[in-house]
Amino acid sequence: MGAKIAPSILAADISSLHNDVSAVVKAGAEILHIDIMDGSFVPAITFGDNIVAALRKRLKEEEQVDITLDVHLMIENPQKHIETFANAGADIITVHYEAVPYADKLIEISNEIRSFGLKSGISINPQTPVSAIADIIPNFDLVLIMTVVAGRGGQKYINDCTVKITEIAEKFDVLIEVDGGVNLDTITIPAEAGADILVAGSAIFGKNDIGAAFVELENKL
């Protein structure tokens, strides 16, 4: 199975969020990436569980699709919010190693996420080596590798992070997701290294024809 593109609504027009999401769904998107930022773990503040719930409801009722909602918690104390986002309709919940740098706590969080029937993810920032999470990767379903500094969109892909994708692909049986700087010029780099899910924001939602931008990216794979 080839890599899948997960459009990131961080780059969407919030005033017409439903229309933007509808455009990528109609273009064939199967995964939607939702960045939750608290203004503490990262400087920005973005969405909450209400956005996840609203998207789930409208996608089911109007688009009549059961698209995967990939929730990326860039927040402090993520363990306090797992049930909330599970109940809102998340399919994947990913937490950051840097927010909870304790193996036993991270395993507990993964177990809680899985208890709701969801996939659990662990994310690392560009400066964090794979070795920091190597011992606990088998306790997760997905590893999200940040290829930009967490907290804002539109940054350039950090090539030095590609080696992490290869390292994980060679050593672990786990889904690999890449987030940051994915566009027409860079998308083949993480894909060829072994990534399964490629998050793209401004490369899709920053274009005039959102659906066409998604398809153009897909055709590069």
Q: Do 63 and 25 contact (CB within 8 A), yes or no? A: yes
- CB environment 40-62: b (16+ within 10 A), e (fewer): ebbeeebbebebbbebbeebeee
Q: For position 62, what pLDDT does the model report?
A: 72
Report pLDDT digits (tens) over 196-219.
999 999 999 989 999 999 999 999
Tell whether the model's pLDDT for residue 28 goes beyond 80. yes
Q: For position 152, what pLDDT does the model report?
A: 63
Catalytic residue among 49, 70, 91, 179: 179
Pick from 71, 63, 62: which is nearest to 89 by CA?
71
Catalytic residue among 35, 38, 70, 91: 35
Q: For position 151, what pLDDT does the model report?
A: 64
- Comparison of pLDDT for 18 and 111, the residue scoring more: 111
CA distance 138 to 148: 24
Helix 210-218 and helix 17-27, axial crossing angle in degrees, nearest 10: 40
**pTM, whole model, 2 decimals?**
0.95
Report pLDDT digits (tens) over 52-95.
999 999 888 776 788 999 999 999 999 999 999 999 999 999 99
Report pLDDT digits (tens) over 150-192.
766 667 999 999 999 999 999 999 999 999 999 999 999 999 9
Active site residue 185: no
CA distance 10 to 71: 12
Q: Do 29 and 7 contact (CB within 8 A), yes or no? A: yes
CA distance 212 to 207: 9
Percent of the chain surpassing pLDDT 90: 88
Active site residue 66: no
Ordered structural domains, the chain, with CATH: 4-218 (3.20.20.70)
